[in-house]
Amino acid sequence: MTSSARPLAVVTGASSGIGAASARHLARAGFEVICAARRLDRIEALAKEIDGRAVQCDVTSAEDVAALTAAVGGNLQVLLNNAGGAFGLEPVAEADLDAWRQMYEVNVIAVAAVTKSLLPALIAGQGTIIVMGSTAGQVAYEGGGGYVAAKHGAKAVVDTLRLELYDQPVRVTEIAPGMVQSEGFALTRFKGDQAKADAVYAGVREPLTADDIADIVTYVATRPAHVNLDRITVRPRAQAAQHKLHRHP
C-alpha cells in the first residue's frame, strides 16, 4: 500500500511508551503514521520501522505545532493527543508550582493547541480526535494534585470539543487508563529515581501495558464513522478503583 493510499494518523509523544506502541498498532491497521515527539533519534527509528514519518515536535512550542501542521497537510484521519506527563507526588501544601504549570501546559494547553491547529485537516478528513487522559481526571488522590487538576482539565477539553463539533464529521474520544507500566512515566514523575518508580508497581503482577492501551487506540480509530466512543476507562484487573489495588506479597 503506498503512502498516499493510506489514511493518515498523527501521534504526539510517540518516542516511547503508549505513544510508540500506538504508532506501531495504527501502522499495522493500515495507517500512515506521523510520529511526533521531541526526541528525534527515537521517532526517526520508529518511523523507519513502521514506514511512517518523523516530525520533531515539542507540543508546548507554537512553532513546532505549526511545523507539524504543515507536515500533515490538508487531510487527517486520526489525531492521538498522547503527549503528557506527571511531575512530582508532593501534597498541595508542598507543591512545586513550576511543575504544576508544566503539567497544565503539556496535558491541557498543548492538547488544545495541537487540536486547534489540526482541526481543519481533521474536518476535511472526517477524522477522530483521541485524547490520552487518565483515571486521575476522574478521581483525586493524595499527592496527585497537579496531575489530577491537569487531567481533569484535559477531560473538560474533550467534553467541550464534542459539544462544539456536534455538527462536524469529527469524533472525539478520551481514553482514561489506570495503572499502566510503560516506559518512562513513573521515572519522569520521580525525576529518574528508579527505586521510587519500581515501588509504584511493586507486587502488582499484571499492570496494564502500553500495548494494551495502543490496542484500544486502534479500536477507537477503526470504528464505523457514525460510532463515537465518548470515554473509555481502563484499569488492570488488580486495580478495582484508584485506591483499591491488589498487591501480592
**Class of residue 81 by CB neighbours under 10 A (exposed 0-12, middle 13-18, buried 19+):** buried
Residue whose C-alpha is closest to residue 132's, from 233, 223, 206: 233
From the list 141, 147, 166, 219, the catalytic residue is 147
Retrieve residue 141's grid coordinates.
Answer: 488522590
CB-based contact 182:18 (threshold 8 Å) = yes
Give just the sign of the alpha carbon dihedral 110, 116, 120, 122.
positive
3-state secondary structure of 73: coil
- Active-site residue 141, yes or no? no
Bridge partner list, 36 = 12, 55
3-state secondary structure of 233: strand
CB-based contact 59:113 (threshold 8 Å) = yes
CB-based contact 36:14 (threshold 8 Å) = yes
What is d(CA 221, CA 236) in angstroms, rounded to the nearest whole number?
22
What is d(CA 113, CA 109) in angstroms, rounded to the nearest whole number?
6
Active site residues: 147
